[in-house]
Structure 1
Amino acid sequence: MVYRFWKINLIKKLNDKLSRDRHLGELLKGSIVTFFLKVLGVGFGYVLTLLIARLFGADNLGLYTISITILNILVLLGVFGFDNALVKFIAGFNARRDMQKTKEVFQKAYAISIPISLFLTAILFVLAEKISLRLFNNEQLTIFLQITSIGIVPFVLLKINSAFFRGLKMILQYSLFENVLISLLAVLIMLFLVMWNKSPEMIIGAYVCALFIVYLFSYRKTYNILSRIGTHRHTLTYRQLLDVSFPMLLASSVVLIMTWTDIIMLGVFKSEEDVGIYSVVVKLAGLTSITLMAVNSIAAPKFSECFQNNDLQGLKHIAQKSTKLLFFATIPLILILTIFSEFFLSLFGEKFLIGKVALFMLLIGGTVNALSGSVGLLMQMTGNQKQFQNVIIFAALINIVLNYYLIPIYSIYGAAFSSMISMVIWNLILVYLIKKKFKFLTIYIPAFSKASKL
């Protein structure tokens, strides 16, 4: 009876708090939806990795990982920074109920990205053999890369559609298309294909098929929304759009390159087996970023909305609340991965146990990431994308230099150490810059933080 009364009282207090604090209510609701769907998507992603590791071995997992890495890098170039720029523009237009400008900026993003994506597809298809032989010294990679090239266009357009949903704060749709459906369909397609053909190339083929199907679903949804919006005279020039998207492209490119530099350089200096083992370590460590991505999904449009309305107090409130959410959601995951590291690694096979120390290093970087908060997005959504770009470039250079010297000697341990150091550097610099510009700290440590209670 006492427990039931306490539970009802707690729920009532929470509802009262959320009804008084609109920003916190939207932040919690959006974060919770994205978190559970992201967990689901990551789960399917691990099933996919596990299937490849078990059915095709660490070497073919390495070829798949290299292909996906190159795909992500080229998709980033094709998107041209619109994944974040559209969130910034559309969130501002949506706050003013200006859906005609939303339609205009979306169409212009398509007009720029489609020809770039087609060009990148042709380049990768033609150069697949040279990349495979000269850079990775592996002829089998050629067919992997040629199949990968076919997935560039649908993946780019899917990213733009997802940014459209995110800018409108349609978090459920954004999360499904961005986090869940690709991995789910790739698993189902692979299970179907493996019954007929067990050739390694079908691994990447299943993923590309999934990209096409998910893009078609997302296109149908965006078409239904945009077809109801009328046209008007053009007020946003391509130059204005590119002035925002291009710095975001550079920053995002550097972030992705820094994230995947380890994989590429391991593929150059070491074996495909090392790449396969390290890719599993990265995936496990990436579990700590699930909550960050969940919170960021709704924090990004909220940051933009507050900044557009000159609500600096609201901006501070959202930044500090989101960091506190990140801390309490991420630290338990880090502890679980640390304590049960051998168990999780052994699921992929005995060979993967040598990645334990590398996993610990990446978890240290993940801890700093969680304590710092959504610093990168805050900078980008408040017109400071060029400063963010410079910080990321600096961190990326450190990462590349460390990888170049450490990977040949220490293999996956050198790669993990390089990532850890660069991650710590860029987070702490961005925390300092936000404190200097906006006069508040995003970083949260329970014993010392002055952030208000939820």
Structure 2
Amino acid sequence: MRVLGVLILFGFTLFLTKNFSPKIVGQYDFVRSFLLVIGSICLLGCDQSILYFRGRLKGVNGLYSLKEIYIKMVGILFSMAIILFLIVLCTNKDFINAFFSDQGVHLILLKSSGILFFSALTTLNTEVFRAMDRLYVAELFRNAIKYIPLILGAILLFYIKKEIYLVDVFLIGFVILAVITTILVFNYFSKVKTHTINEPITYKEIIVKSSPIAISGMALFLLMSFDIMFLKKYRDDPTVAFYALAMKLMTILSMVIVTVNITVSTKIAEYFSTKNNFELNKILRNSSRLIFILTLPTALLICIFSEYILQFFGKEYIVARNALLILMIGQGICSAFGSAPIYLNMTGRQNVFQIILVMAVIINFILNRFLIPVYGMGGAAFAFVASSFFWNFISAVVIYKKDKVKVYLN
């Protein structure tokens, strides 16, 4: 399913770069990055804490109680979406437009924040499918179905020569997805028989459990968004499109790392809790080697054929070659740190990981602010690599000092 998602993403990206101007593609990537950041604030970590509550509430009773928690989470999402929309609405229009040197930015941000609830609800619903053991449905929506409204809308815009409305189609797609996924969620809940409900989970408890997760999620999205925001400010929409393509190519390596980490995460938690250090070190050593072995050849191939790969998406995109090389080399180096972040999350060190991520976000912000005005895409790529190396390296050092465990390649 994850491979299918990557194939669909690159297939659609190819269609966009071949048929839409870099300016329009850049606007789409800018809005997508903005929604990632503001969406993580709106969700407040509910998309991940729903899995925590499902694990805590066992059996049929737990599944029925999950419906009550879900309804409360939807209320939290709606409240957060209204607050964030009002904040954007009250922000000075001229200031925002002047900051990004684009007279249309405030309207785009207003539209994005207006659709925020539906975007966040779609994400929450996808995780609810997972919590209800509908794994295939969850992965199908996460990796394939979520692209369908946008793909169909983009094709229609291309044929009626209205490409300028790509961002609007992208945003409207979330309304469609939110309606479909919500209907499915309540359909699945309706099949659960009513039993004595466990002690109700309060709004306060949901927020307390979800907020720490939200900090980590928001930090990761900021790491992937500051570069886009500053490129929009100091360069232009086409530059955003060129750089965003390089970032998407880098996700091929990220997919390898994420897939291996998901596979070993439960074993890390098990061996750590049972103090089985031999097996813990063994699985970490094997995972770091596997990640590095799978990542290195892919990174080298993309570096060697970078010009041809970028040219495949359009001749204009060759300008992103240096940024792509920096990103690939950096990600290849970071792959040597294996399962460092997942280890901290699986061993009860989430707070430590949050502190490291917040520090990385600060470094990323400072580097982007000073490098992008001078070096453009190259500066953005270096800022991303430097901050990624920082949190991977510090995580590995902290783990070794605390537990004498080597998560890095050895």
TM-score normalized with structure 2 length: 0.87
Q: Tell me which residue corresponds to 1:62.
A: 26
- What letter is aligned with 1:84? Q
Aligned pairs for 1:344-423 within 5 A: 344-423=309-388
Query: How far 1:94 moved relative to its partner?
Result: 5.1
1:182 paired residue number: 146
SS of the residue 1:139 aligns to: coil
Instruction: Say whether residues 1:45 and 2:15 are aligned partners.
Output: no
Where do 1:423-434 residues align within 5 Å? Answer: 423-434=388-399
After superposition, where does 1:147-158 map in structure 2 within 5 Å? 147-158=111-122
Per-residue deviation, 1:425? 0.8
Deviation for aligned residue 1:75: 0.7
What corresponds to 1:275 in structure 2? Answer: 240
Q: Distance in 2 between matches of 1:435 and 1:428?
A: 11
SS for the counterpart of 2:160 is: coil
Q: Secondary structure at the match of 1:278?
A: helix
Quick check: 2:97–2:104 contact (8 Å CA) kept in 1?
A: no
State the partner residue of 1:203: 166
How has the CA–CA distance of structure 1 residues 128 and 375 changed in structure 2, closer, same or farther, with 3 Å as cutoff? farther
Letter in 2 for 1:260: S
Shift of 1:167: 4.2
> Over aligned residue pairs, what C-alpha RMSD do you find?
3.0
Partner SS for 1:236: coil
Q: Does the 8 A contact of 1:169 with 1:298 survive in 2?
A: no
Distance 1:87 1:423 in 2: 27
The corresponding residue for 1:287 is 252
- Partners of 1:434 and 1:389 in 2: CA distance: 14
Contact 1:371 1:443 in 2 (8 A): yes
State how far apart, in whole Å, the 2-side matches of 1:51 and 1:95 are: 46
Q: Does the 8 Å contact 1:88/1:381 carry over to 2?
A: no
CA gap of 1:269–1:160, structure 2 versus 1, over 3 A, is: same
Query: Separation in 1 of the partners of 2:261 and 2:49?
Result: 14
Deviation at 1:204, TM superposition (A): 1.3
What is the distance in 1 between the residues matched to 2:261 and 2:149?
Answer: 25
Match of 2:80 among 106, 116, 139: 116
Query: Are 2:122 and 1:162 aligned?
Result: no
Deviation for aligned residue 1:100: 4.3
The one of 224, 240, 246 aligned to 2:187 = 224
Per-residue deviation at 1:250? 1.6
Give, in angstroms, the shift of residue 207 of structure 1.
Answer: 1.6
Q: Distance in 2 between matches of 1:345 and 1:257?
A: 25
Identify which range, 312-321 or 70-79, moves more after superposition: 312-321
Q: Does 1:245 align with 2:210?
A: yes
Conservation of the 8 A alpha-carbon contact between 2:281 and 2:405: yes
Q: CA deviation at 1:345?
A: 0.8
Counterpart-to-counterpart distance in 2, 1:298 and 1:107: 31
| 2:227 corresponding residue in structure 1 | 262
CA 1:384 to 1:169, structure 2 compared with 1: closer, same or farther past 3 Å? Answer: farther
Shift of 1:324: 4.5
SS of the residue aligned with 1:232?
coil
In the TM superposition, what whole-angstrom CA distance separates every residue of 1:245-267 from its partner, at most 9, and x where no partner exists? 21221222121112111111111
Corresponding residue SS for 1:443: coil
Q: Distance between the aligned counterparts of 2:267 and 2:60, measured in 1?
A: 15
Give the Cα–Cα distance (whole angstroms) in 1 for the partners of residues 257 and 18 of structure 2.
30
Shift of 1:193: 2.9
Code of the residue aligned with 2:212 in structure 1: it is P
| More deviation, 90-99/383-392 | 90-99
Measured after TM superposition, the shift of residue 223 of structure 1 is 1.9
- Can you list the C-alpha shifts for 1:148-180, whole angstroms capped at 9, x where unaligned? 334311211121122233445543222222222
166-175 or 241-250: which moved more?
166-175
Task: Give how far 1:136 is off.
Answer: 1.1
Cα 1:298/1:84, change in 2 over 3 Å: farther
Q: Is the 8 A contact 1:369 1:424 kept in 2?
A: yes
Deviation at 1:221, TM superposition (A): 3.1
- Which residue type is aligned with residue 203 of structure 1? L
Cα contact 1:64–1:144 (8 A) shared by 2: no
Q: Which amino acid in 1 is paired with 2:136?
A: L
Does structure 2 retain, via aligned residues, the 8 Å contact 1:369–1:423?
yes
Cα deviations across residues 321-356 of structure 1 (Å, max 9, x unaligned)?
Answer: 554543343333222211211111112222221221
* Aligned position for 2:408: 443
Deviates more, 1:409-418 or 1:346-355: 346-355
Q: Please, which runs of 5 or more residues in structure 1 have no aligned partner?
A: 1-36, 450-454
Quote the offset at 1:276 in angstroms: 1.8
> Which deviates more, 238-247 or 251-260?
238-247
SS of residue paired to 2:16: helix
Q: Cα 1:199–1:366, aligned 2, differ >3 Å: closer, same or farther?
A: same
Asked if the contact 2:157/2:166 (under 8 Å) is kept, the reply is no
SS of match in other structure, 2:225: helix
In the aligned structure 2, how far is the partner of 1:94 from the partner of 1:378?
25
Change (3 A) 1:175 1:398: same
Q: 1:59 Cα shift?
A: 1.8
- Post-superposition offset of 1:305: 7.0
Match in the other structure for 1:73: 37
Consecutive unaligned residues in structure 2, runs of 5 or more: none
* Counterpart contact for 2:288–2:408, Cα < 8 Å: yes
Pair 49,140 (structure 1): closer, same or farther in 2 beyond 3 Å: farther
Q: Is the contact made by 2:246 and 2:323 (CA closer than 8 Å) also made in structure 1?
A: yes
**Residues 100-115 of structure 1: pairs in structure 2 closer than 5 A:** 100-115=64-79
TM-score (norm 1): 0.80
